[in-house]
Amino acid sequence: MKRFFNSRSIFFGSLILCVILFYCLSQNFFLTNYHTIESIQNEKHINNLLTHINTEIQQIDKVANTFIYSGFNIATISEIGMIGLDFIVYKNIKDGTVFSRYNYNNDEIIPLIENQTPFENDLIELFKHQSYTADIYTYKNRIFYLIKKQLNPTAFIYLGKNLNNNSLQKLSEDFAQLNITHEHITQTTLKLSTRLIENIFVQTSLEARQIINNISFYNHHDEYLFSIKTINPRKFVNEGEKTIQIVNAIMGLFLAVILYIIYKTQMLYRRVLQKDKKILESKVEKRTKQLEGLLKKVKKSNEQLHYLAYSDPLTKTHNRRSFFIESEKVLKQALEDKSSVSLVMIDIDNFKQINDKYGHNIGDKVLVAFASMIKDEIGEDDIFGRLGGEEFAIVFPNTQLDDANKKVENLRKMVANLEIKLKCGHRLKFTASFGLNDNSLSHNIDEILKNADELLYSAKHSGKNLVRSRINQTALWCDLY
């Protein structure tokens, strides 16, 4: 259950992380592109507006050229609004004549009719040193496109058209709102110019839902004229955000499906692995039990082989090979420790006559009874083995010769008291002879056994049922010679 919840947590955590990561990447990548596109589009709209303003001035310039080259009589013109003008002022330098026409249908120009003379005087005075002017002119917060041209050597005409919010809105449909203001901008993000207007400064402000431009115009003398404020909704960014949200929703759903498939595949794979694991564990456990059984059999076989290789099957004592191996170990350790080791050779007396008289079955019983009694009497560290037939040997580690002599003498007496029950009700007694030696003269097992065997031979020839050792060596030589 805990593992299941961990898997679900990982799944949902991965899904949320992927969605957030994709959302951040899409916001950063796509919105940046939308911002760039919108900035380019906004600048294009501004340039279109300035182009239209420049075109208006050029159109007035064409009208002026018509007057000059076609010989129109200005005095005959009744409605100048028909030719796209809001005022015409004629000035003859020679006689000082001033003649003017105004567009009475334009509400922005009507207030000027009452005070035409100050307007005309200011206009003529401002541009008296220029034979040609194509610019924007402001008079009492009113803005005009202005063209001044020379008709002849003594006469000039001034043609103008009022620029107001209504006419400005007609110039460009790229902006949702255009308004003339008189606010100076403090910071600029863009500087533009046209063929007729050199100094134009733009300040762009990006708000959450709209983009605002403040466009300030300056004349050839760097004198501030007026500003235009434009407002447009941020269509690209707003639509882009909607698109990104839709894309994010689709991608989120897509990622959820992909991750869910991965999650289910992982769970299925985990179940298969768990099932395979259980099967494998069962097989391993079964195989382990089989191997354990085999190991037990091998161990038992090894023990049996070891027993057969190192034990005498009749008397259950060390056989000759095992006895020599263990004896050499004891002698080697005694050499390192500088300790005493005693060894006794034993031969059951008259064993051949026992076999001949009672049979080998009784002879085997004698050997078993003898070996059993010896094993019960000697210590755990003592080494007892059958060298062959009725010959046995005992090694007493860490034992002086006189102590060993006492032990062996005690064993001799116990052997003499042993009885073997026969079928006829009789009891069979037997004795053994002992030859005792130690490692005081040699640490070679063969030499020690050889000397012990000579001592045993002396015991045999001295009447049997005796213990002969290096302690009673005089008796030995008397017996031998």
Which positions are annotated as active-site residues? 390
54's tokens = 């420049």
Residue 152: exposed, middle, or buried by beta-carbon count in 10 A (0-12, 13-18, 19+)?
exposed
Three-point CA angle 46, 48, 51, nearest 5°:
110
Say how far apart CA 146 and CA 410 lie, in whole Å: 154
- Torsion from C-alpha of 127, 132, 136, 139, nearest 10 degrees: 30
User: Quick one: which H or E segment has residue 211?
Assistant: strand 210-218
Q: Which two tokens stand for residue 138?
A: 């402001």
Contact 204, 212 (CB under 8 A): yes
Order of all β-strands in the sheet with 133-139:
98-102, 87-92, 155-162, 142-152, 133-139
DSSP state letter for 43: H
> Crossing angle, helix 445-461 and helix 473-480, to 10 degrees?
60
Instruction: Find out whether 192 and 184 touch, Cβ atoms under 8 Å.
Output: no
- CA dist., res. 313 & res. 367, Å (int): 12
325: DSSP letter:
H
Q: What is the number of H-type helices and E-type strands within the chain?
A: 11, 17
Tokens of 423: 């079928």
351: enclosing H helix or E strand: helix 351-358
Strands 432-438 and 467-469: parallel
Contacts of 46 (CB under 8 A, 6+ apart): 190, 192, 202, 213, 215, 230
Would you state the structure tokens that stand for residue 56, as one six-digit string? 């208006």
CA distance 473 to 346: 18
DSSP-derived pairing of the beta strands 432-438 and 341-348:
antiparallel
Q: How far apart are CA 209 and CA 207, in angstroms?
A: 6
Whole-angstrom distance, CA of residue 284 vs CA of residue 77? 116
DSSP H or E run through 47: helix 2-70
Q: How many CB atoms lie within 10 A of CB 97?
A: 11
